[in-house]
Structure formats: C-alpha cells, structure tokens
Amino acid sequence: MLLCSSVSGRSSQSGIFRDKTISSFSRSRSSRKSVMASPPILSLALPSDTGRVLSIQSHTVQGYVGNKSAVFPLQLLGYDVDPINSVQFSNHTGYPTFKGHVLNGQQLWDLIEGLEANDLLYYTHLLTGYIGSVSFLNKVLEVVHQLRCVNPNLTYVCDPVMGDEGKLYVPEDLVSVYREKVVPVASMLTPNQFEAELLTKLRIGSETDGREACNILHATGPSKVVITSINIEGNLLLIGSHQKDKEHAPEQFKIVIPKIPAYFTGTGDLMTALLLGWSNKYPNNLDKAAELAVSSLQALLQRTLSDYRRAGFDSQSSSLEIRLIQSQDDIRNPKLTFKADKYT
C-alpha cells in the first residue's frame, strides 16, 4: 500500500494545500535575506471557481489531438490547465509519417518532482488520455496517488484509450492494468463502446447492455461513467450514468447522436475535456453536462465538415483536423441542441 510522502524524498510541505483557500506563498524575508521573496502562484493563491487541471496526454505540433484538443477548451470554460505531454510529435500518426519523442515514466516523475519541490502540486482535477505503455500507465497511477496525498478531493477523469470498433491500438497488457488498477481510482470514465466492453468483459449489443456496463464499472469505482459512443442497430448513442451514492441505483440517460459521414481526429480527447468541464459546473446533473458537451462537439464537427467542403476537399477521403479555434464560441456558450432522455 502506497503511503503519502514527498516525491523528492525531502520533508513535504504539501499539507498547506489541503485547504482550497491558500493564505500565502511568500517566503519569509528573514530566512531569505539576500533573495527577494517569490511572488505567489495566482492560480493557487487565488484559485478560479472552476479548478486547476493537470492534463497528461499526447501533443502534436500541428493539428488538434490529445492536449492540443483538450487544454484550450478547458481554458475557455475557465479552468487553469497545466499540460504534461506524454508524446511530442510533429503531427498525428494518421499522416504518412511523423517525427518526435515519447516521454518515459521516469521523465514524467521528474516533472512531478519539480512541481512538488516548489509546492505546486495542488490540483482539483487530473485528466488522462492516450497512454502507450504499461510502465507509463503504472507511473500515472503513482501520480494519482501523490496528487490525492496533496488534495484528497482530487477528481480523476480518465479516458481509457485502448481501441475502437473491435481493434486494439495499445499493447494488450494495458487492458488488465486499466481494468484492475485504473478503474478503481477513477472518478469519471469516458470509454467508447469497444473500451467499455474490454473493461467489463460484457458485449454491448443493446441499450440494456450499455446500462449494465455502466453498473459494472460503478461497482468497481467511478461514480460517473459516460460511454461516449455506442452503435446499436445503426443508431449512435451516448449512455451516461451517475451513481450519487451506493444506497441508490444510478441515474442513467442516453443522447441520440447523428452519424456524420466523415472521420475526425481528436474528437474523443475533446469530448472528455468538455465532460470534465461541464460536469464540474453541474456536479449533480451529469445529463446536463453531457447535453452541453455533445452540443458543443456536434457544432464543431459541422463547422469542420462545412469548411472542408468549402475548400473543395472530399470529407470522406481522409481523417479531418477539427476546427477548434474557429469553434470557440460553440465551446464557451453552446446552443443546447441535444437533449438527454432519462431512463426510468
């Protein structure tokens, strides 16, 4: 069992972050006579009403996937976001070639140590997306533990990116780590249909199956589960579930999503970021948060599709880069065009 301690081995001062109101981060002049006191970190000293997010995801120089797809929307919704880039690539891997570097577990821990050494390790939320190795995922679990030592109320939002449409695109060993170690410590999970099937060992062929998959995941840990896309008899659905306490059945709902004849990159990363952003603003109304997230995403996809067509490009011939910057109004103030139907 892991115990709370300083990640750098020194005596930790992290306890000062346990209260959300931070009184002072200035060092005493008497103890630093020859050095000017450092100014406070305002995102800690004067925290926003929304929160402070640590986002561990991939990064591309060009295009919008991973952190490039998640950080800006969360900032638009009022969050302070600190990104750690698990990879740094020239572009996403759907292009004919890409170049770049992959962060390893020790390098991730070095960054956590640097934050902890300067008393910067207080976060309200942790967001994780694509992770490509068991060793890195295990290190992320250590990060979860350490963040909760600093803030026991940390919300961990996990998009368990493993594959889609029956195809794995991570090492198979990752599946059991997600199922046995990550799911129990997550606050919210946002799998797609295939990932939910892997995590629950349940084939999802109906809405009833989707709801049961949510129940299985609730029993393991997370209070909020959103299966972001389920294809049932040609219909595309989102199924969400919020178990507010163990004594009552979860509140469950669905949103019917239109099928768009195109493939987009970065949409899963964006959807999870939007669900984090809106569910924190509506903590007891996951259905409302999902309505806003889906409405934002669909408006962005329609704009992306329209712009590609306007440029004379066949939208069905390749993966499309989403129009994130051009859709910022739809992210900040979405028109509620999609409604949730609650299950009874």
* Residues marked as catalytic: 269
Beta bridge partners of 321: 265
CA gap 218, 247 in Å, rounded: 12
Sheet harboring 251-257: ordered strands across? 100-102, 80-89, 52-60, 125-128, 155-158, 188-189, 224-232, 235-242, 251-257, 341-342
CA gap 68, 131 in Å, rounded: 15
> Where are any strands of DSSP class E within 159-316?
163-164, 167-168, 188-189, 224-232, 235-242, 251-257, 263-265
- How many CA atoms lie less than 13 Å away from 244 in the CB half-sphere? 8
Burial class (CB in 10 A: 0-12, 13-18, 19+), 222: buried
CA gap 309, 167 in Å, rounded: 30
Give the pair of three-digit tokens for residue 124.
Answer: 């309200």
Sign of torsion over alpha carbons 198, 202, 206, 207: negative
CA gap 140, 108 in Å, rounded: 8
